[in-house]
Structure 1
Amino acid sequence: MRPTFARIHLENLKYNLEYIRSKINKNSKMCVAVKADAYGHGAVECAKTAVECGADFLAVATVDEGIELRLAGIKVGILVLSLCQKEEMEEVVKNELTPLVFDEEYIGFVAEAAKKYKKNGFSVHLAVDTGMGRIGCLAKDAGMVAKKIAETGVLKMGGICTHFSVADSTQAENFEYTEKQFKLFLEAVENVKKEGIDPGIRHCSNSALTLTHPEMHLDMCRPGIIAYGYYPGQVDKKYFEKLGEKTFLKPVMELVTKVVAIREFEKDRSVSYGRRWTSSKKTKIGVLPIGYADGLFRRFNEDDKRLYVAVDGKNYPVCGRICMDQCMIELGEDSNVERYCEAVIFGPEESGALQSAQEIADMTGTISYEITCGVSKRVPRIFVTSATR
């Protein structure tokens, strides 16, 4: 196996999920997002752990992601959060995936596939656009669309959902917008009921609202990034500390590589493309077999956003531009680092990491989601528990 890999701490995932389950209302279900390969952590293993921890549903973005889980033996409900092509509908039906629908034509595509495979009572969830502006019918039209679902004679409304656009913000005006979205969602539910149709599972709470607003949990919560150990937006650790509540989510991914070469550098010697870095004195340079094709983006070592890597409990700065497959760190003249020492890019504190994906995200003006999702498929995932670490 190549010396660059992602160590996935399943015991941390289990810890996070058990904590999340404790925050969800007793009678509400839990739908864990495992889309985008479980935010880069490995969908199948994370899905199995989620089910062990009481997940009633899993959420994916594509049909292929759903099929992968079914082939792995996952039996719980699987929501497909993004829209599918017409040609994919048969696979949706055959694999008992649950699509989101919101317009007559799309409902027709699902119904056609359900009729072909004689899947009477095939479950769909009605998506309502309450202010995200992406997909969904308007709240005022929810009853009419629910009737279209019923009129197919083969589909049933298994649930109704919406998605919030600023629920991870602590600013007053943004929370007012979230409350407005929630009110619209409840109106949509009532409009469905007025047509004599059972709306099924009502769900709208994302990671932020799962932790902060139990009145919005309704019948199911959809935690995402918090399952993998990171807080959503401004609803972070500091936010909870101000409230006097201790919430210590544990990062699940540890991105690891090894020092594959150590080079002796004299003063005034440059390294990597563009000669952006030149040694100011005699030093040693460590070569790491990880680069932007692995998810260690080139922008991570701009002059004002210097990335550091932990080796044997000490931080060493990346020097020179990050390449496609390699990068370099400055070790200093008296370093005791040896060839094949482990170098940790980010991860949980107990792993020896000196920074998290969130800290890298903060440094580069993005979010933790992008950092973990950016770890590419060519980086092997190694799944460990506390017993096998």
Structure 2
Amino acid sequence: MSDYLRRTWAEIDLDALSYNVEQIQKRLAPGCGMLGVVKADAYGHGAQQVAGVLAQHGTAWFGVSNIEEGVALRNSGFAQPILIFGTTPPELAGELAQQRITQAVYSLEYARALQQKAEAAGAVVDCHIKLDTGMTRLGFLCDDGQFERSMAEIEEIAGFANLRLGGVFTHFASADDYEGDAPDYTRMQFDRFQQAVAHLRARGLALPVRHCANSAAVISYPEMHLELARPGIILYGIDPSDQCAGRLDYRPVMSLKSTVASIKRIGRGTQVSYGRTYRAPRDIDVAVVPIGYADGYSRALSGRGRMLVGGRYAPVLGRVCMDQLMIDVTGIPDVKRGDEVVAFGRQGGNAITAAELAEQIGTIPYEVTCLISKRVPRVYLRGGRAVEVVNHIL
């Protein structure tokens, strides 16, 4: 690695990613393809690099949040179908068609606007209908009170000359929860989805591609895999929830690392960092680590987090700064400037997971990896060796 990487960097284990893809593919029902979710720069892992591995394993589709993410994949040479889960300004209908990117259509109003702009551009936009079966986000409502109206609106959209409907999908609200009434709610959403699809097909809409299985449903609801499944967080070796732990074998893909910048011995009573929230109870050894909340290591980990140095845990002292933080390395032998520090990942026989950090700050592991900022270089590994480095600043 180049010297500039020895501040703070994220390691992305492409072998672990390949392993995870293989485990997911083994779990999918016969005839079910995979839509790899690479939105948000593949949850912070690097969309182009992750998509490259997924393509090598025959991934049928990619899922993104917006048109910029889709165009970035096209510009990197990926020819697979791409689905935008969110909204695209109708004025970009021509761009959607030119790039062969499929757009989610989630309301009659939006479909009309997209049709108008596509017609003006002389283009035909590929679309998947989004059904709201209980997430209460984007989509045509499928509850009893709105079902007939939604079905009529979708039939109207099917008649639009410049929108081509190739699929239909929904999103589960709590498929990662296996307690209480959550499984019943997931099955209710699936029943609503199936009812809507059956109704539309009976009315002559082909809608050949159906998909609703997110990561949690991939793990536990094989009857919901259909033509496509949409694994996201499990691609990256992270459980959708604690309840999903152990249900599918996968490996963490990302580690976040830094280095020891300085070590000093401080006396009992010495106060540490902004706000002087930590006071040393005895003489201790403090290491300064050049990572902070601007890198994506949350300030909410102040006085809560821990890191690995020399294979041992070292607690974070006081407040996390924008670019630096302090850890207690007392009793850890031979710590010196330049030593590797692990914010999350494995070192020696110990590990810190993204889930651990998420629990400490009251969020989910998805956010932990997504928060790793663009000033943190990504180092891609094969066989334990760096094969590519992406530094967005340089």
Q: TM over 0.5, yes or no?
A: yes
Matched letter for residue 378 of structure 1: R
* 1:283-322 deviation line (CA, Å, top 9, x unaligned): 22111110011111111124xxx21111121111111110
Matched letter for residue 191 of structure 2: K
Which of 123, 127, 130 is the equivalent residue of 2:126? 123
* 1:156-195 deviation line (CA, Å, top 9, x unaligned): 2110000110111011311111111100000110121122
Conserved? CA contact 1:208–1:235, under 8 Å: no
Which of 29, 37, 41 is the equivalent residue of 2:33? 29
Conserved? CA contact 2:272–2:317, under 8 Å: yes
Deviation at 1:104, TM superposition (A): 2.4
Q: 1:84 to 1:334 in 2, by over 3 A?
A: closer
Superposed CA RMSD = 1.8
Q: Note if 1:359 corresponds to 2:356.
A: yes
Stretches of structure 2 lacking an aligned partner (at least 5 in a row): 387-394
Deviation at 1:352, TM superposition (A): 6.5
Conserved? CA contact 1:228–1:252, under 8 Å: yes
Higher strand share: 2
Deviation at 1:113, TM superposition (A): 4.1
- What residue number does 2:20 align with? 16
Q: 1:255 to 1:387 in 2, by over 3 A?
A: closer
Matched letter for residue 131 of structure 2: V
* More displaced 10-residue stretch of structure 1: 367-376 or 139-148: 139-148
Deviation at 1:351, TM superposition (A): 7.4
- What residue number does 1:298 align with? 299
Deviation at 1:387, TM superposition (A): 5.0
Q: Note if 1:381 corresponds to 2:385.
A: no
Alignment partner of 1:318: what SS? strand
Conserved? CA contact 1:58–1:77, under 8 Å: yes
Conserved? CA contact 1:142–1:189, under 8 Å: no
Whole-angstrom CA distance in 2 between matches of 1:254 and 1:76:
29
Matched letter for residue 286 of structure 1: A
Alignment partner of 2:351: what SS? coil
Q: Note if 1:369 corresponds to 2:376.
A: no
Deviation at 1:267, TM superposition (A): 2.0
- What residue number does 1:346 align with? 344
Q: 1:366 to 1:334 in 2, by over 3 A?
A: closer
- Aligned residue pairs, count: 377
- What residue number does 1:132 align with? 135
Which of 310, 318, 331 is the equivalent residue of 1:312? 310
Conserved? CA contact 2:94–2:123, under 8 Å: no
Q: Note if 1:222 corresponds to 2:230.
A: yes
Which of 83, 89, 92 is the equivalent residue of 1:85? 89
Whole-angstrom CA distance in 2 between matches of 1:382 and 1:374:
17
TM-score (norm: length of structure 2): 0.91
Whole-angstrom CA distance in 2 between matches of 1:314 and 1:267:
23
TM-score (norm: length of structure 1): 0.92
Q: Note if 1:286 corresponds to 2:303.
A: no
Q: 1:351 to 1:54 in 2, by over 3 A?
A: farther
* More displaced 10-residue stretch of structure 1: 283-292 or 88-97: 88-97
Q: 1:351 to 1:95 in 2, by over 3 A?
A: farther
Deviation at 1:333, TM superposition (A): 5.9
Stretches of structure 1 lacking an aligned partner (at least 5 in a row): 241-246
* 1:130-174 deviation line (CA, Å, top 9, x unaligned): 011101112324532332233211222110000110111011311
Whole-angstrom CA distance in 2 between matches of 1:41 and 1:52:
17
Conserved? CA contact 1:288–1:326, under 8 Å: yes
